Structure 1
Amino acid sequence: MSVGWRLTPVGFFRPLFSRLAIFQQRYQYKNKKFPTSQRPQLVSQPGHRFSCFSTMTESTPLYHPESDVEDLEGYRPGGYHPTLIGDTFCDGRYTVVHKLGSGGYSTIWLARDQQLQHYVSLKILVAGASQDTHESEILQLLSKSNLNCPGKQFIPTLLHQFSFDGPNGHHQCLVGVPTGCSVASSKENSTNFMFPPDAARSLAAQLIMGLAYLHSNDVCHGDLHLHNFLLRAPSFNHLSTTELYEHHSKLYEVPVRRLDGKPTAPHAPPRATYPMIWRMPANKVADPEILISDYGTSFIASQTPSPTLHTPALYAPPEEFFNKPIAIPKAADIWTLGVVLYDAVGECPLFETFAWDPDDIIAEMVNTLGDMPARWWAAWANRSEFFNPDGSWISNFQRISTPEFRRLHQRMWDMGRGETPETCQWDVAAGEFKALEDMLRSMMTFEPAERPTAKQLLESEYIVKWAMPAWERQVERKSALTKH
């Protein structure tokens, strides 16, 4: 099967499309709601099981929607705990002072530990997930493992955990060290959607080391994406709450209103809080330090014979689209990190699709990486919408935008680092460009069994010659500053 060349206007508009895709990602994540254990089949084949709304959020809407806060429809029995600034938890030990963020499973708050007099993060899980999650067990396992492994520093530390009852049910709360914004937010808030070249190299090293540590402990993350990679922020424990608002992020709230005009209590708070604004634009972050966060859907590979992935569709491995058991879950993490790394070290997502339609994504996989295994090609019911029997693009394309034929090599030049060897920010002459392409291509091999392990990636040419040295230079700079 060969994919034929097709002249289209997509290339002319790619800079605009790339930015639209970035902001579409933000919209997709802002509107993720509560996943259920059985994700619906959106198409007969391929049948990727996307995270979706639970029955409580699929019923009649209760609240006026608000942007940039948690999905207010989650304030129902089984959902979010209605939390307000000033609330206290664990017998008064933790006082909520700001919001750090939210997701489909939880809201995350900044709190002051009155015992130890420092700030902590409180991840309050939705009641419906509090009984089923293994996040605390996973974090405890990772904290007790090899103390000397370099990848351990990229894993969050669980400081404390407790549970409590609220109007929407029983909630588990995980206490951790506060971090800054996500890599996704940092890119979105920058002028060019990119980290400086050496910072990008360092990011790649950190992510590979972190994943290698997870896999060495038989842990599969299962939900790797840029919103789950958090940047460490400088300590602000010395600041009072008032100083925190003045120097970092003021407190902004919006009323929560029911559509029927009834009071929001007891299931929802009277006000929703906007998350803290971190001024960490990617183009200004010279020495990023990351944490791989959110282990709510992680699992022990050897103890989970048929795991369900919760990876966003754009980053999901091809085997997840064809209703097959994930036989090699660590290989699924490798594929996902390969797709994510392209975005992390460059400007925009690897696969271009506006609706995250599974067929569009599979077509982009073929467009980028070439022939997929025959068993998947034959099972893809809707491939005729994209390809002729000989594998060339169909001439009467009916979708929103006509795809342009671009293999991975061309997309490497389109990642925002320069379009010629003379202008490229990667060291083309010394082989960096090719080494990065080779590593990403190996991670995105269609056959799961043929993908490298995370440990093997640490020995790849790109990591050894460019990414790891960038990380080591960053460590040396930090050490020099500490001494002074």
Structure 2
Amino acid sequence: MTNNTTHRAGKLYFPNIEVENLEEYNIGGYNPTVIGDVFHKGRYHIIHKLGYGSSSTVWLARDRHLQRYVSLKILMARQVSTSKESEILRLLSGNSKPTHPGQRFNPRLLDDFTIDGPNGRHRCLVQDLAACSIAVAKEWSSNTMFLVETARSIAAQLILGLSYLHSQGVYHGDLQMHNFFLYGLNIDHLTPDELYTRYAFDTAPVRRLDGASPEPHAPPYAVWSMPIETPADKLADPIIKISDYGTSFVAADTPNPELCTPTLYRPPEALFGDRIVPFAADVWPLGVSLYEVLGERPLFETFTCDKDDVLADIISTLGLPPRRWWDSWANRASSSRKMGSGGRADQPDLFASLAAAEPADVGNGAGKTPESCEWDVEGGEVRALEELFRGCWRGSRRRGGRWRAGGVE
């Protein structure tokens, strides 16, 4: 008879899908933070958990000096020597007299310090409190859609925010819906007890497979993220900031960047293994996000998020890529059944269905008149977005004759 440890060779903890990866509570990993911890000479008191990522946990803390709530991000210990996030945030918030309208759509770094714990030394980043990501806001809504004016406002803020980012020589490298956060949450007047009444507080015990105590490398319990309900279909006058600079860099210092963008948002040159042009590579995932902001569903969808499936979906939507990309695609034959004839779409034009909707129903394929979506951009805002994609997709083609999968036309 085998025990649990044998069944889960190499694993230490019973898993819990509602919290961070517990296996990362080890030397070099997460700091074992619990409610009530106090950091930085007693200034920051941990009250709740806001979320987590692959390299950090994020906590709601009470700043005892300023009597306000803040976000406290605690990086894994192994990130101390490699992360440039604090440097990037200082660069972005260093201009006390903003001259670029997009600066206010990037977060401020309020404080920056290190702590020593059983898993090593961790860097801590203090920022203004955010509500939730716009991805989560869509999940909270009844129809996964923003009101039309809200969607337009979010789109404008994201474009301006990225423009400011690039003006400072910074490349984000992980633009996606989960990294665009809503701000303006005002809970400073709430005591911790009042906060727990308004926002559910749930924990789960951390248990080792061998029955030993999880401490000191792991906490005795894990905290579920604070459920800040901000339904997209009820949201008006949003304030958005582009967040999470854990994989960002100054472009001039990084000639060969490595992208961490999820596959569904990844620019095509990365999917084809081509050279990455930092600022240009940020534009594609921004466009994918804007489509999702304006509509109901993502532009590109697959069941597996497999690179070849995503490429097939992109080609079905936008047509053939530059020929050198097509010729370098090793698995195109096995993926051809997912594409239209010759790489053209047999499925409905996703941009046409989006542009045909009434402004209040953008993204539902309502089949209304195209003119109803021509808000204030010549040809319509959705068509402007389509041109952005088609320009990126065709950008690497050489001038000359067109071509089809069987040869040059």
Which bracket does the TM-score occupy, shorter chain normalised? Answer: 0.7 to 0.9
Q: How many residues align?
A: 381
1:186 and 2:125 correspond? no
Find the partner of 1:260 among 200, 210, 230.
210
1:89 paired with 2:39, answer yes
Pair 1:421 & 2:371 matched? no
CA distance 1:338–1:367, shift in 2 (3 Å): same
Question: 1:212 corresponds to which residue?
Answer: 163
Kindly provide the CA deviation profile for residues 380-413 of structure 1, in whole angstroms up to 9, marking residues without a partner as x.
Answer: 111111328x97279xxxxxxxx95344434535
Aligned with 1:226 (options 166, 177, 184): 177
Mapped partners of 1:391, 1:187: distance in 2: 31
Instruction: Kindly indicate whether residue 49 of structure 2 is the aligned counterpart of residue 99 of structure 1.
Output: yes
State how far apart, in whole Å, the 2-side matches of 1:393 and 1:352 are. Answer: 20
1:355 partnered with 2:304? yes
Aligned to 1:162, the other structure's residue is in SS state strand
**CA displacement 1:154-185 (0-9 Å, x = unmatched):** 11110001001111111000011111011010
User: What does 1:243-282 correspond to in 2, within 5 Å?
Assistant: 243-247=194-198, 249-282=199-232
CA contact (8 A) 1:314 1:361 kept: yes
In structure 2, the residue matched to 1:141 is 91
Is the 1:111–1:122 Cα contact (8 Å) retained in structure 2?
yes
Partner of 1:38: none
Q: Are 2:380 and 1:434 equivalent residues in the alignment? A: yes
Partners of 1:383 and 1:126 in 2: how far apart? 39
* Paired residue secondary structure (2:102): helix
The equivalences for 1:164-183 within 5 A come to 164-183=115-134
In structure 1, how many angstroms separate the alpha carbons of the residues matched to 2:63 and 2:376? 51
Amino acid paired to 1:163 = T
Report 1:148-163 matches (<5 A): 148-163=99-114
TM-score, length basis structure 2: 0.88
CA contact (8 A) 1:370 1:407 kept: no
Letter paired with 2:235:
V
Instruction: Give 1:337 shift.
Output: 0.5
Q: Is 1:446 aligned with 2:396?
A: no
TM-superposed CA distance for 1:254, in Å, is 0.7
Contact 1:332 1:448 in 2 (8 A): no
Aligned position for 1:8: none
Whether the 8 Å CA contact 2:140–2:232 is kept in 1: the answer is: yes
* AA partner of residue 325 (structure 1): R
How many Å apart are 1:434 and its aligned residue?
Answer: 3.3
Q: 1:260-303 CA deviation, whole Å, 9 max, x = no partner? A: 22110111111000111112100010221111100010011122
Question: What are the superposed Cα offsets for residues 397-437 of structure 1, whole Å, 9 maximum, x if unpaired?
Answer: xxxxxx95344434535863442225x79534876773322
Offset at 1:130? Answer: 1.8
Residues 31-42 of structure 1 aligned to structure 2 (within 5 Å): none
- The answer to whether 1:387 aligns with 2:347 is no
Which contiguous aligned blocks of 4+ residues in structure 1 show a shift greater than 4 angstroms?
428-433, 447-450
Partner deviation per Cα, 1:1-23 (whole Å, 9 max, x = no partner): xxxxxxxxxxxxxxxxxxxxxxx
Aligned residue among 233, 238, 256 for 1:283: 233
* Residue from 302, 313, 323 that aligns with 1:374: 323
Counterpart secondary structure, 1:96: strand
**Displacement after TM superposition at 1:322 (Å):** 2.3
Instruction: Give the Cα–Cα distance (whole angstroms) in 2 for the partners of residues 279 and 207 of structure 1.
Output: 22
Partner of residue 73, structure 2: 123
Specify which structure has the higher proportion of strand: 2
Name which structure has the greater RCO, CA cutoff 8 Å, separation 6+: 1
Kindly indicate whether the alpha-carbon contact (under 8 Å) linking 2:100 and 2:164 is maintained by their aligned counterparts in 1. yes
Q: Is the 8 A contact 2:131 2:182 kept in 1?
A: yes
SS at structure 2 position matched to 1:251: coil
Decide whether the 8 Å contact of 2:340 with 2:346 is kept in 1.
no
Name the SS for the 1:375 alignment partner: helix
User: Which residue matches 1:469?
Assistant: none
Amino acid at match of 2:44: Y
What is the rounded CA distance, in whole Å, between the counterparts of 1:171 and 1:180 in structure 2?
24
**1:420-463: CA deviation from partner (whole Å, max 9, x where unpaired):** 225x795348767733223343145225569xxxxxxxxxxxxx
Report deviation, 1:109. Answer: 0.2
1:426–1:139 Cα change, 3 Å: farther
**Partner secondary structure for residue 333 of structure 2:** helix
What RMSD, in angstroms, separates the aligned Cα atoms of the two structures? 2.3
Matched, 1:302 2:252: yes
Report the secondary structure of 2:131's partner residue.
coil
1:470-481 → structure 2 map (5 Å cutoff): none
- Unpaired runs of at least 5, structure 1: 1-57, 395-402, 451-484
* 2:37 partner amino acid: D
SS in 2 for 1:150: coil
Q: Deviations over 1:451-480 (max 9, x none)?
A: xxxxxxxxxxxxxxxxxxxxxxxxxxxxxx
Contact in 2 for aligned 1:108/1:121 (Cα 8 Å) = yes
Structure 1 equivalent of residue 288 of structure 2:
339
Amino acid at match of 1:322: F
- Residues in 2 aligned to 1:218 and 1:273: alpha-carbon distance in whole angstroms: 37
Contact 1:79/1:128 (<8 A) preserved? yes
In the superposition, relative to structure 1, how do residues 260 and 405 fare at CA in structure 2: closer, same or farther (>3 Å)?
Answer: same
* Distance in 1 between residues matched to 2:213 and 2:263, nearest whole Å: 37
Among 205, 210, 235, the residue aligned to 2:186 = 235
Q: Is the CA contact (8 Å cut-off) linking 1:342 and 1:349 kept in structure 2?
A: yes
Opposite residue 122 of structure 1, the aligned amino acid is L
Q: TM-score scaled to structure 1, two decimals? A: 0.74
CA distance in 1, matches of 2:35, 2:19: 14
Aligned to 2:4: none
